[in-house]
Amino acid sequence: MIDSEREGLAQGTNALARRAVVLATGSFATLSLVDAAWGQHGTGHDVRAIAKEAYIYGVPLIDQYRVMYAFSIDKGNPQYKGPFNTILNIGRVFTPEDTAFVTPNSDTPYSFAVLDLRAEPVVITVPKIDSRRYFVFQLMDLYTFNFAYIGTRATGNNGGHFMIVGPGWKGDKPNAFAKVIHAETQLVSVVGRTQLFNPTDLDHVKKIQAGYRVRTQSQFFESPAPRAPQTVPWPKPLPPGADRTSLEFFN
């Protein structure tokens, strides 16, 4: 390979890796840091190393978005659970036909919600539950970080209202709420699990699930809603596994 070809290949690789970092992080501030690194260490080895780190950083975002898209955006998907800021309770145990996420439990009927915190906070309400029964609501941000739990171990079984707020929210905890929980991303996946003692216990679980509620702050207080967030042309996710080989992962 002649020098001009080698230089062109290096420039193309640099551009792709720089774009990977920006798209994976969603931050042009990151780009300035990458540019500084390129100015000091712009070798092929460094380009590959930075691209690898960007890929690893981006994989959780892509995978979480794939599940969120199936659950709350793609109404034609058999795994669709409902629109943002609503809750769907599944009053049965899961089977191998439930494929939207990996290895669901078979002894904890599920509740699902995806929270959109762009316009206003969202309130999760749980009823008082018998202390012998375990339950949990797992809150995950777009990085798949489990940043909070509502449930037996974390908040107890006495029930209450929990306000979930997005980045940049400031204010004092209203008296109506047991806790204010801060999320680092505007979209949050919520997975609820309620213990099932045995097959004859399913009706009791359904009664508990009926007490779970997800409402926006304005719905909770029955006040005027703020302006709706901007409509997003949600892109269709890559098929599972394609993000390992396709450059569309970074698009």
For residue 68, what are the domain limits? 3-73
Task: Determine the pLDDT at residue 236.
Answer: 87
Question: Are 60 and 140 in a shared domain?
Answer: no
- Out of 38, 73, 108, a domain closes at 73
Question: Are 109 and 23 in a shared domain?
Answer: no
Question: Are 59 and 95 in a shared domain?
Answer: no
Question: Are 114 and 166 in a shared domain?
Answer: yes
Mean pLDDT of the chain: 81
Q: Residue 247: pLDDT band by 50, 70, 90 thresholds?
A: low
More confident residue, 177 or 15: 177
237 pLDDT above the threshold of 90: no
Say if residues 110 and 208 touch (Cβ distance below 8 Å).
no
Question: Are 11 and 123 in a shared domain?
Answer: no
How many C-beta atoms lie closer than 10 Å to residue 151's C-beta? 18
The closest of 124, 110, 88 to 205, measured between CA atoms, is: 110
Task: Determine the pLDDT at residue 22.
Answer: 42
Percent of residues, the chain, with pLDDT higher than 70: 75
Question: Are 53 and 144 in a shared domain?
Answer: no
Classified as helix, coil or strand, 232 is coil
Question: Are 141 and 200 in a shared domain?
Answer: yes
33 pLDDT above the threshold of 50: no
Question: Are 43 and 100 in a shared domain?
Answer: no
The closest of 110, 114, 23 to 61, measured between CA atoms, is: 23
Mean pLDDT for the stretch of residues 133-156: 96
Question: Are 96 and 69 in a shared domain?
Answer: no
Q: Residue 187: pLDDT band by 50, 70, 90 thresholds?
A: very high
Say if residues 188 and 112 touch (Cβ distance below 8 Å).
no
